[in-house]
Structure formats: structure tokens, C-alpha cells
């Protein structure tokens, strides 16, 4: 019998979100699996995967707020705005102080226009932006309104700075990192990114892929990692997050 419901996955680094889906299809008797928001290959953390008939609930997850913890490196900017790209610019970060970062952080609270990275999955004329970027083709990227609900600096160890941010759906942390660098007049890029939560779902509740495989191999409480549809709806039905422009 095909399974239905949701699985919270703690995605490891250096694999794609679609690699996660392919692995779950290999492990479980299910034909249809949908994500509620992808993560970059570099990123780790919470992915909510909907299985079987539960994929019809995807619309309820589209505008849930997300919390990320991320590290930026001062002094270098890359074409992808993270450490997987090529360095395109270097600058001196020795004059940047923790006070400069804290002051800059305050300017990002609330609604703001954000330009998505050129290396992103946003579609332009039916193709993702990264397809044009990889060919060196420039396209016009329009800003969109996002909501930075909270942004805090957790650690300052130059050239690395650790942040935690709660943001509306559609916010790109890589673009946020670049904007922080622009404000303090120092180029920067993301070196690590972890999604901690989506709405009321937290990465602490998530399973690793190897956990699911081991559970299936043992055969005990075979699908104890599965969240049923009724539980899903109870967690999200009262959420009314910010949706403008995303």
C-alpha cells in the first residue's frame, strides 16, 4: 500500500533537494513525493516532504515563515553568493567591527525589497535563472518584497560572522548576506546555511535519511517517522503569515 503523509528530513550538505526525494522513493512504497521548499546543495536542515495524497496540502506550506542560521565570510564575494561559486571580488575586512554589524542588522528588520541571486531556481521565460547564469547570459532580475522578521548576530570571529534570521517565504539568505556586506561596505558571501524551522515544524523533529533506512531495516514501528495528514493540517491551519509579494 502506498504511504501518505509527511516526513521531516534533516538534509545533509552537498546533495540536492531532489537527491533527497529520489532516496525516499527508493526506500518507500510511494510514487509521488513533493517538497515544500528546496534547499541549496550547500545548505543543511529542515525539509518537509509530502508523500502520496498529502502532496495536495503543499499550498498550505507556501507562505510559512522560516528560521535560518547562517555564516558569512567577510572580504570575498562570489558569483553564486556562497562558497560554491567563484570569487569575483575581494576587499579588506580588517576595519569591520562587531558594532558595525549590529548597527547594520537593525536596518533589515521589516519589509524590504530583495533581488534574488542570479544563481537561483526562479523562472525567467520558463527557465531557471541559474540556467542563464551558467551560460554567462544576463537577464533582468526584478526585486520582490520580503519580510525580515528578525535578524541577530550570534558570533563575530572575523572574517566569519554567524547570524540567525526569521524570514518570510521567498527570502534568499544569500542575497541577505550580500546586502549586509553592502551596508557595512565590505563584500561577503555565505559559507554555511542551516534551516532550523518552517512554521511550527523544527529540525529537532526531523530524521536523517540513514535513520529512516535503519528504521525500515529493523521493521519495528515501520512508519513512525511519518506525520499523518490530520496532524499536518492541525499544525498549519491557524497560521496567517506574511504573504505580500512572495
Right CATH for 5-62+201-236 from 3.40.30.10, 1.10.10.10, 3.90.550.10, 3.30.2350.10: 3.30.2350.10
CATH 3.30.2350.10 domain residues, the chain: 5-62+201-236, 66-197
pLDDT score, position 238: 60
Give the Cα separation of 119 and 178 in Å (integer): 13
Helix boundaries (H) for 83-206: 98-106, 129-134, 173-183
Give the Cα separation of 141 and 129 in Å (integer): 9
Check if the beta carbon of residue 161 is closer than 8 Å to that of residue 71: yes
Q: Taking the model in full, what pTM does it have? A: 0.89
The grid cell for 110 is: 521589516
Among the listed residues 194, 198, 203, 206, the one whose alpha carbon sits nearest the alpha carbon of residue 42: 194
Which residues participate in catalysis according to the annotation? 40
**DSSP string over 142-168:** PPEEEEEEEEEEEEEETTEEEEEEEE-
pLDDT score, position 245: 29
pLDDT score, position 129: 66
Check if the beta carbon of residue 193 is closer than 8 Å to that of residue 42: yes
Burial (Cβ within 10 Å: 0-12, 13-18, ≥19) of residue 73: buried
CA distances from 24 to 4, 105, 119, 175, 213 (A): 13, 39, 26, 31, 9
Q: Output the tens digit of pLDDT for each of the chain's 246 residues.
A: 678 889 999 999 999 999 999 999 998 888 899 888 889 889 999 999 999 989 988 888 888 999 999 999 999 999 999 999 999 999 999 999 999 999 999 999 999 999 887 766 666 666 666 676 676 777 777 788 999 999 999 999 999 999 999 999 889 999 999 999 999 999 999 999 999 999 989 999 999 999 898 888 887 667 888 998 888 888 776 654 433 322
Report cis status (omega within 30 of 0) of the bond before 142. Answer: no
Task: Give 62's contacts (C-beta < 8 A, 6+ positions apart).
Answer: 36, 169
pLDDT score, position 189: 97
Q: Supply the Cα-derived Rg of the chain in whole angstroms.
A: 19
What's the CATH number for 66-197? 3.30.2350.10
Give the Cα separation of 119 and 129 in Å (integer): 6
Task: Give 125's contacts (C-beta < 8 A, 6+ positions apart).
Answer: none
Amino acid at each position: 500500500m502506498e504511504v501518505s503523509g509527511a516526513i521531516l528530513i534533516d538534509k545533509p550538505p552537498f546533495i540536492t533537494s531532489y537527491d533527497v526525494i529520489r532516496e525516499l522513493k527508493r526506500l518507500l512504497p510511494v510514487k509521488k513525493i513533493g517538497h515544500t521548499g528546496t534547499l541549496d546543495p550547500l545548505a543543511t536542515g529542515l525539509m518537509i516532504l509530502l508523500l502520496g495524497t498529502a502532496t495536495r496540502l503543499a499550498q498550505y506550506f507556501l507562505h510559512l515563515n522560516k528560521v535560518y542560521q547562517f555564516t558569512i565570510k567577510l572580504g570575498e564575494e562570489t558569483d553564486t553568493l556562497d562558497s560554491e561559486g567563484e570569487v569575483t571580488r575581494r576587499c579588506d575586512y580588517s576595519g569591520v567591527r562587531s558594532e558595525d554589524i549590529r548597527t547594520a542588522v537593525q536596518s533589515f528588520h521589516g519589509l524590504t525589497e530583495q533581488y534574488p541571486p542570479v544563481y537561483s531556481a526562479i523562472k525567467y521565460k520558463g527557465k531557471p535563472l541559474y540556467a542563464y547564469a551558467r551560460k554567462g547570459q544576463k537577464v533582468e532580475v526584478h526585486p520582490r518584497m520580503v519580510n525580515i522578521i528578525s535578524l541577530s548576530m550570534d558570533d563575530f570571529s572575523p572574517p566569519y560572522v554567524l547570524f540567525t534570521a526569521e524570514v518570510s517565504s521567498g527570502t534568499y539568505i544569500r542575497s541577505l548576506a550580500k546586502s549586509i556586506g553592502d551596508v557595512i561596505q565590505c563584500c561577503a558571501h555565505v559559507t554555511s546555511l542551516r534551516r532550523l524551522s518552517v512554521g511550527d515544524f523544527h529540525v529537532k523533529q526531523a530524521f536523517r535519511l540513514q535513520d529512516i533506512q535503519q528504521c525500515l531495516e529493523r521493521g519495528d514501528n515501520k512508519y513512525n517517522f511519518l506525520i499523518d495528514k490530520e496532524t499536518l493540517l492541525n499544525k498549519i491551519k491557524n497560521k496567517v503569515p506574511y504573504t505580500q509579494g512572495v
